[in-house]
Chains A and B, each alone.
Chain A
Amino acid sequence: MTPRDLFIEAAYVVASILFILGLRSLTIPDRARRGMQLAALGMLVAIVGTVVNHEIVRYEWILAGLALGTVIGYPLGVYVPMTAMPQRIAISHMFGAVAATLVGVAEFYSLGQGAQVGRVQMAALGFEVLFGALTITGSFMAFGKLQGILPSRPVTFPGQNVLSLGMFAAAVGLFAWLLVEPANPNAFYAMVALALVFGISLVLPIGGADMPVVISLLNSYAGLASSATGFAIGNNVLIIAGALDGASGFILSVIMSRAMNRSFGNVLFGAFGSPPKASARTSQGLTVHAITPEDAAIQLAFARLVIVVPGYGMAVAQAQHQVRELAALIERNGGTVLYAIHPVAGRMPGHMNVLLAEADVPYDKLKEMEEINGEFKNADVALVIGANDVVNPAARSDKGSPIYGMPILDVDQAKQVIVLKRSMNPGFAGIENDLFYRENTAMLFGDAKASLTRLVQEVKQG
């Protein structure tokens, strides 16, 4: 090993250690920031280690790419608002996958269109471009849905299931062929094309409410593509970082699926052939109790324990700052305010936490489901803001309901439930929520932000 190679390897080892320490720091919120700064340092070390690689003969393209990437990446880091975080994360999976896929394609191309590719390397390249390509288009579709460019409802057509799986099978078939006979450029590029189309057809039929699982899964695929790149070019730091990313995405998707009581298969292919099965129970003959902001404000002003249950509706209305303002008033009156965060509230893992943290809600008041569920019976008011399926008691009791078995927040045990809701339209799952018809539930209709602003005014005056 020449001194130069030794330097490169040492840089990669240091980078790997800093990455792992950085992720470990995320287990303790107070140390997380410092830890991730170390991880960023690790990235710098890895880059410095790489640019002395003997294979690099000129730097103009490298510098141009670094400059252009910085020009695009900096605003994506600094200016994107927290409310746009789900689509921001989705598009970043796409960029990661683009890099991995292009490295794979170029590697195949420059090794004599596969002629100098061994079978083991072909296996790595195959996984790299398969995962990479489907993540590129899949993430872009997820981005489009979250950004509102594409409809967030499931887009389906007859035979879609068969078509999708057929494409996937064909791509895998080509991959198998390439393993036997790597020098086969047509098969290779056809495989990439199929994976690209498969990514589209994989995400298009998935509805907005299932996005947390999809984003996590794409996170995992992007990581696996990076890892496969490491195998293909024989680079350990890539393998390690990719494996960390892959593991993280996988764990998150398992947590998200579990929080919805559904399997991966059900999330990915569940939209097929199931136009919302008429829920077992309908709202016929039931009435809701509407409440005025004045009355709601009185209840809140005198409450000793208020539990806020935020959902995607809060994110849409960007009402997190008003929530914080209202909480401050309740606390000034001597009450306690806690926040109950369901794992799949919002459009990505941890969505609600980020929004509330942005509004300066201290993180020790943000409670996970298991931690808070026992507290609802002590709560004077449960304030549900734009959440629906995650508080639907049908998940506990109604075997006919599509969400039966999903763990929910037990808001109905609070003495009084106040639901902030735009209208009586059912939630994203299209399921009737009988929480809204209960005796101890009052509905405060209107835009969440406007309603909260009213509540703040009323409590102030009261």
Chain B
Amino acid sequence: MQHGTSLLELYVFILAGFVGFFTITRVPALLHTPLMSATNAISAISLVGSLVLAGADRGMLPTVLGFVAVTSATINVVGGFIITDRMLKMFKRADRRPGPAPQGQVNGAKK
């Protein structure tokens, strides 16, 4: 936890914010729900911090909090990416309707 670097971190934050802004303003309204679930899954990267907490030797309370945090973040990682994929799989164009079913995964599983 060296904190001479926090100014650098601020740069990272601001630049990432710009990248996010310019990328996401171009996402069509069509995909706004998958966008939400996607960013939610991605921000479950807080799992990285939780993992260290749950595995480090800092006493019982931090370990238990870390365990709960790992669980919560994992729910979002697993559930988030699956549900995003499930949604994106549904969006098809008219002109290639019977089209190339990606990896034959499109089956009657949606319900």
Among A92, A227, A237, A368, which residue has the most Cβ atoms of chain B within 10 A?
A92
Which residues from 300 to 357 on chain A have a C-beta closer than 8 Å to any C-beta of chain B? 341, 343, 348-351, 353-354, 357
A412 within 8 A of B: no
User: Nearest chain A CB to B95's CB is how many angstroms away?
Assistant: 8
B56–A354 CB distance below 8 A? no
Taking Cβ atoms with an 8 Å cutoff, the residues of A that contact B are: 12, 15-16, 19-20, 22-24, 26-27, 29-30, 32-33, 36-37, 39-40, 43, 46-47, 50-51, 53, 55-59, 61-62, 64-66, 68-70, 72-78, 80-82, 85, 88-89, 92-93, 95-96, 98-100, 102-103, 105-107, 109-110, 118, 120-121, 124, 215-216, 219, 222-223, 225-227, 229-231, 233-249, 251-252, 255, 341, 343, 348-351, 353-354, 357-358, 360, 362-366, 368
Per the bound structure, the CA–CA distance linking A365 and B44 in Å amounts to 33
B42–A245 CB distance below 8 A? yes
Per the bound structure, the CA–CA distance linking A16 and B43 in Å amounts to 11
Can you sample 20 A-B contacts with CB below 8 Å?
A23-B39, A37-B85, A46-B47, A62-B54, A77-B82, A85-B87, A92-B79, A99-B49, A99-B50, A102-B72, A106-B58, A216-B36, A231-B13, A238-B46, A238-B49, A244-B24, A247-B20, A349-B33, A350-B34, A360-B90
A78 touches which one: B23, B38, B82 (CB < 8 A)?
B82
* A residues in contact with B35, CB < 8 Å: 23, 26, 248, 252, 349-350
A358 touches which one: B65, B69, B77, B110 (CB < 8 A)?
B110
State the interface size on chain B (CB cutoff 8 A).
89
Per the bound structure, the CA–CA distance linking A123 and B62 in Å amounts to 20
* B residues in contact with A251, CB < 8 Å: 21, 24-25
Per the bound structure, the CA–CA distance linking A56 and B66 in Å amounts to 12
The secondary-structure label for the interface of chain A is helix
Taking Cβ atoms with an 8 Å cutoff, the residues of B that contact A are: 1-3, 5-6, 9, 12-13, 16-17, 19-21, 23-59, 61-95, 97, 102, 110-111
A98–B51 CB distance below 8 A? no
Per the bound structure, the CA–CA distance linking A77 and B91 in Å amounts to 17
B45–A215 CB distance below 8 A? no
B39 touches which one: A98, A249, A365 (CB < 8 A)?
A249
* B residues in contact with A57, CB < 8 Å: 55-57
A26–B54 CB distance below 8 A? no
> Nearest CB to that of A119 among chain B residues?
B3
Per the bound structure, the CA–CA distance linking A245 and B39 in Å amounts to 5
> Nearest CB to that of B92 among chain A residues?
A362
B37–A89 CB distance below 8 A? yes
User: Nearest chain A CB to B70's CB is how many angstroms away?
Assistant: 3
A65–B81 CB distance below 8 A? no
Known: A26-B34, A69-B75. A243 touches B54 (CB 8 A): no
**Additional A-B contacts beyond A124-B6, A363-B92 (11; CB < 8 A):** A23-B38, A39-B42, A46-B45, A62-B51, A77-B86, A239-B12, A240-B13, A246-B17, A349-B35, A349-B36, A363-B93
* A residues in contact with B71, CB < 8 Å: 65, 68-69, 72
B33–A364 CB distance below 8 A? no
Known: A32-B88, A110-B59, A362-B93. A252 touches B42 (CB 8 A): no
* B residues in contact with A51, CB < 8 Å: 51, 55
* B residues in contact with A222, CB < 8 Å: 40, 43
* A residues in contact with B16, CB < 8 Å: 16, 239-240, 243-244
